A and B are shown apart, each in its own frame.
Chain A
C-alpha cells in the first residue's frame, strides 16, 4: 500500500474501501506484464465489488500471464476531497499505481446515473476526458455493460465500446492493441482496426447529422467501420468462462456471497424490461456445471451462502433438480442457497420446502402493475389468482413478510391502475387472515414498493414518453390515498432521479457536452440521494441549451432514426413495433418457452431458439 494514500485514510470513512489486500486479489510483477488493464466500476467499492460481470472479467484477464487486470472504484466524496487536497491521483487497488499508468481504462456501465462518475474518475486520474485529447496509443478508454446498448451520451469520452457479452471480445481487443504497439501503429490505426472486430463500436468512426428539430437525420460510418455493430454473445454457457474464485472483500459489501450464474437471458419478454431483450436468447447452464462452479467458489472463498443468479431464476427449467443437487452437499457444509429473483408463478410448495432449509428472510415478488389490464400491457403474465396462490403457499409455510415490487408511470396507466397496487396489497393482507393455521401473535407485513418507469432502448416502449415529475407525484399521492390498512405499507422511488435516468437512457451525442458541463458543476454519484440535485442538473441543461424533455418526455415516431439504431442486439425493430401495438391492445405475447414470437434472436443460432421446447 502506498504511504501517501495511507496518510489520508485516517480522515475518511470506511478506509477499507481503498486498500485492497483481499483474499484472492491478484498481485503480479509489473516487469513481467505487457498490458495493464484498470477495471473501473463507477461507484463505491461496496457496490462495485458486488457486481458479477467484474468478477468474471477480472479473473478471465488475470489468467493471461502477460495481462494484469486491477480494480478501481470511485472514491466516496470524503476520500475524493482528501485526494484532491494532497494531489493524489485515482489509483488501482492491487498495485496502488495511478490509473494514468494503465494501457486500458475499462468502465462497466450498469446504470445511467453513474455517467458523471465515469468522467469524474478520468479527471481524478489526470487523464484527458475526451477521446480527441488522448492522442497516444495508451490510456485506451473502453466500456461495456448493459448501458452500452445506447452509448451515445458517452461517445466523446470513450474510445471504444464492447457491444454485448465481453468474455471474448475484451481479449481480442487487447491482443490487437499489443500487435499495434509492436508495429508502432498510432491510436487512430488501432481504433480503425478494432472497429473490424465483431462487437466493437468505435464512436469516433461515425458522424451524426441532425434534423432541425434535433432528431437524427443520418449516421454515417467511416474508414470501413460497420453500418451495424452486432452484439457478441456466449452461445454455450457450459463452455463460457467462469471464475473458480472471487476476490473476498474485507469489509461488508452489498451482495457478500458466492454467486452462481444459472442462465443468461430471460424467456419472459416483459415489455418494460431492457435486460429481457438485450440478453436474448435464454441460455441455460447445466446442473453439473453450476454445481461444480458453486463448489469451487465456496471452497476458494469460504462463503457460506450461494445466490443462484439470473434475470429470473425460478424460470430455470430444472430448478428443483438443481436445488436437490446443491442441497446434497450444502447442508453438510453449512452453506445456504438463496434465489434472488422469484416469479409470482414460479413459487411452488416443493421450491418453498427446499428454500426453507435456508435462513428465512422476507419474500419478494414483482407483479409490476396493480391491475390485470396493465399487466397485460406490459406482458407481465401473472394473474391476481397466481399471486394469491403464491402468497397462500408462503403464508402456509410460515412467512409473514411479503414485499411486492411495482412500477408507476407505465404506458396507458390510469389512476385506477395505480389504486390497483394498493388493492392488490390489501388482498395479500386479507389472504393472510384466511389462513386458519397462521401463527397467532405474529402479524403480516406487506410492503408495496413503486419505482418510476423509465422507457429504455431496445424495448417495445422505446418510443414512449416518460411521465412528468408532476404526474408521477400525483400518482404517488393517489397510491398512498388508496391504502387503508396498517399492515400495508407503500413507498416509492424518487421521481427526480428517474427523470435524469430517462434523459440519458435514450440520449444522443448532444448530451456529451451536458455531461462535461455537469462534471464542471460537481455532479457525481447521481444515484445517491445525498449527492443528487435535480435543480443543479436543470441549471446544467439550461447552460448547454439542451431541453431534457426532448429526450424523456417526447413521443417518438416509429420511423424516427434512434441514436442506437446502428447497434444490433438481434431484436428486429419490426418486432418491437408489433409488441408496442399489442401493448396498446392489452394483448399478451407468449414466453420463449411456450412459443417463438420471432423477435429476431434466432440469428445467433443458439440457446432456446434452437433447443426443443
Chain B
C-alpha cells in the first residue's frame, strides 16, 4: 500500500463545488479512472481520500492537495492522465508526490485577492485599504461552531502587500489556516464594507499552504 499526494488546481466553474460535493466529485473520478484504490473496510466501503485543508466555496485553489492510498504502484503521469480525463474541466491535477508533511501541520495559507470595482480610483482605494489595515482594531463577525463571535481582524493582518495592476487591486496576504485557527479571507471584504462603506468584488485565490515555521506544505 502506498500513500500518494495528488496536487490540483480548482478554478473557474469548479470554485463553486463545495467541500462536501468535492468529495463526491473526486470519488466518482477515482472510480471512473479505475485507479487501484484502497477502499475502507467499514460497513459502507468507499475509496479512501482525505483533503489537506477544505477550501471555501467560491475560492480558487492554486495548489490544493488530497491524499489517497494505492494498492499497487502506478507511474505518476499515468495517474495524472487518468484523473484529468475523469474530472470536471476546471479541476486539473498537476503533480503527484509522496506526502512529506501531515495535513495537521498546516498553520498558514497565502492568498492572492483581486479586488475589482466598476467605478473608483484604484490608487485611492489602495490608500484607504492601507489605512484600514493599519488600524489597531478592526472588529469583524466570525462564524464559529458556537455562533457568531466578534474578533479583531487587525491582529491577523501582519504579512501582506497591496499593489495595483491590470485595473485591479491585488492583495497578497498570509492568514492563519488549519485546524487550530482559521481566518477566512472573505472577512477582509466584510471589514471593508463595514469600515469604508463599499463592497468590492473579490476574486480570492489560495496560493499555498505552510506549517507554523512557514515551510511550504509538501
Contact = CB atoms under 8 A, between A and B. Distances in A.
B86 interface: yes
A22 interface: yes
B138 interface: no
A481 B44 CA distance: 40
A16 B31 contact: no
B86 A21 contact: no
28 contacts: A9-B58, A10-B58, A10-B201, A15-B16, A15-B57, A16-B18, A16-B21, A19-B13, A20-B13, A21-B12, A21-B13, A21-B14, A21-B90, A22-B88, A23-B87, A23-B89, A248-B28, A248-B88, A250-B14, A250-B16, A251-B21, A252-B21, A252-B24, A302-B30, A302-B31, A302-B33, A334-B45, A359-B44
A7 B27 CA distance: 30
B76 interface: no
A9 B30 CA distance: 29
A9 B90 CA distance: 17
A179 interface: no
A299 B86 CA distance: 10
Contacts of B57: 15
B17 A302 contact: no
Interface in B22-39: 24-25, 27-33, 39
Contacts of B13: 1, 19-22, 250
A301 B89 contact: no
Contact of A304 (B20, B28, B58, B86): B28
Closest 3 CB pairs of A and B: A21-B13, A302-B32, A302-B28
Contacts of A302: 27-33, 86
Contacts of A19: 12-13, 16
Interface residues of A, number: 25
A303 interface: yes
Given A302-B86, A334-B39, 6 more contacts: A20-B13, A21-B13, A250-B13, A250-B88, A256-B24, A304-B28
B189 to A, nearest CB: 9
Contacts of A18: 16
Interface string A237-280: 00000000000101110001000000000000000000000000
Interface of A: 1, 7, 9-10, 15-16, 18-23, 248, 250-252, 256, 299-304, 334, 359
A334 B89 CA distance: 25
B31 A15 contact: no
Nearest to B37: A334
Contacts, number: 71
B32 A301 contact: yes
A306 B66 CA distance: 27
Interface-centre pick from A250, A251, A252, A256 (highest chain B CB count, 10 A):
A250
Given A299-B32, A302-B32, A303-B28, A250 B17 contact: yes
Contacts of B12: 1, 19, 21
Q: Tell me the dominant secondary structure on chain B's binding face.
A: helix
B98 to A, nearest CB: 25
A248 B29 CA distance: 10
A305 to B, nearest CB: 10
Nearest to A300: B32
Contacts of A16: 16-18, 21
A16 B39 CA distance: 29
Contacts of B17: 16, 250-251
B92 to A, nearest CB: 12
Interface-centre pick from A10, A21, A359 (highest chain B CB count, 10 A):
A21
Contact of B25 (A1, A9, A15, A250): A250
Nearest to B203: A6
A79 to B, nearest CB: 12
Contacts of A252: 20-21, 24
B205 to A, nearest CB: 14
A10 B32 CA distance: 31
Contacts of A15: 16, 57-58
A112 to B, nearest CB: 31
A248 B16 CA distance: 15
A9 B57 CA distance: 10
Given A302-B31, A302-B32, A23 B88 contact: yes
A383 B33 CA distance: 48
Nearest to A303: B28
A333 to B, nearest CB: 8
B201 A7 contact: yes
A455 B179 CA distance: 57
Given A16-B16, A21-B88, A21-B90, A250 B21 contact: yes
B155 to A, nearest CB: 26
A301 B21 contact: no
Nearest to B14: A21
Contacts of B90: 21
Nearest to A23: B88
B18 A251 contact: yes
Contacts of B58: 9-10, 15
Contact of A334 (B16, B20, B31, B86): B31
Contacts of A301: 28, 32
Contacts of A9: 16, 58
B188 to A, nearest CB: 14
Interface string B39-67: 10000110000000000011000000000
